[in-house]
Amino acid sequence: MRSPDWVFLDMPGCGRSISLKHRACPWRNAYLFDNVLRGLLHNPRKMLQPYVTPGMTVLDVGCGMGFFSIGMARLVGSDGLVIAVDLQQEMLDVVEKRAARAGVADRIRTHRCTDDNLGVTTKVDFALAFWMVHEVPDRAGLFRQLGSLLRTDGHLVIAEPKIHVSADDFRETLELAKAQGWTWSEDPRMRASRSAVLRVAAPAAAECRRIYGSGH
């Protein structure tokens, strides 16, 4: 069953807020889930070390306040790079502050994108889209752009919040990705999430690069 286009969230001490599909999470709301307790739910090292190794260049699309950008910066090490992309400058400002505090600012590059254009051309070994795909109006366009950026054999991990995204909605997202040349293999089992690991077939990647330009 498809989930409704809106949900109410009751957060203790924070009142009641409405969250809409295909609307970017307002930056202040990100503190509701990206706070000191998040580490109890998600461990970036354990979740992503099967895909992210030292020296890699990786993309965190819809990075929010950078919970996973910082986790991946630790995994790629001093020779690697994390490109942290978000629509909202306020999110990116927090990423930069947190990265400096965590001592990994030298390996995180922030980039502000628009709703329908990531505006990134650097090729990446791995991409993460965590709890963000349901906020994107043109999901097919997002998958095409990611296909143009990922190196051959690179993985894309998508995770969607169960609270917003039903099993049917998630299946529909995977079908949309499939239509853009992606295949999916595993369900990496991430808490409170529906998740999948995807790879893009070489001919589809070439077509995506033709549309969006090649990386450098």
Ligand X SMILES: C[S@@+](CC[C@H](N)C(=O)[O-])C[C@H]1O[C@@H](n2cnc3c(N)ncnc32)[C@H](O)[C@@H]1O
CB of 112 to ligand X, least distance (A): 9
Strand partners, 6: 20
- Near ligand X by CB under 6 A: residue from 59, 82, 83, 91: 91
- CA torsion sign for 173, 117, 146, 34 is negative
Pairing of strands 150-161, 193-200: antiparallel
Per CB under 6 A, the segment of 23-31, 48-56, 72-80, 192-200 that binds ligand X is 23-31
Pairing of strands 150-161, 182-184: unpaired
125 binds ligand X per the rule CB under 6 A: no
Nearer to ligand X, 90 or 201 (CB): 90
- Near ligand X by CB under 6 A: residue from 62, 80, 147, 181: 62
24 binds ligand X per the rule CB under 6 A: yes
- Long-range CB pairs of 18-23, under 8 A, 24+ apart, other chains included: 19/164, 21/134, 21/135, 21/164, 22/134, 22/135, 22/136, 22/137, 23/135
64 binds ligand X per the rule CB under 6 A: yes
Looking at residues 128 to 157 of the shown chain, list those that interact with ligand X (rule: CB under 6 A).
130-132, 135-136
47 binds ligand X per the rule CB under 6 A: no
Looking at residues 101 to 120 of the shown chain, list those that interact with ligand X (rule: CB under 6 A).
113, 115
Q: Is 153 left (phi over 0), alpha (psi -120 to 50) or beta?
A: left
The 10 Å Cβ neighbour count of residue 166 is: 15
Which residues in this chain contact ligand X in the complex, by CB under 6 A?
Answer: 24-25, 30, 34, 61-64, 67-68, 85-88, 91, 113, 115, 130-132, 135-136
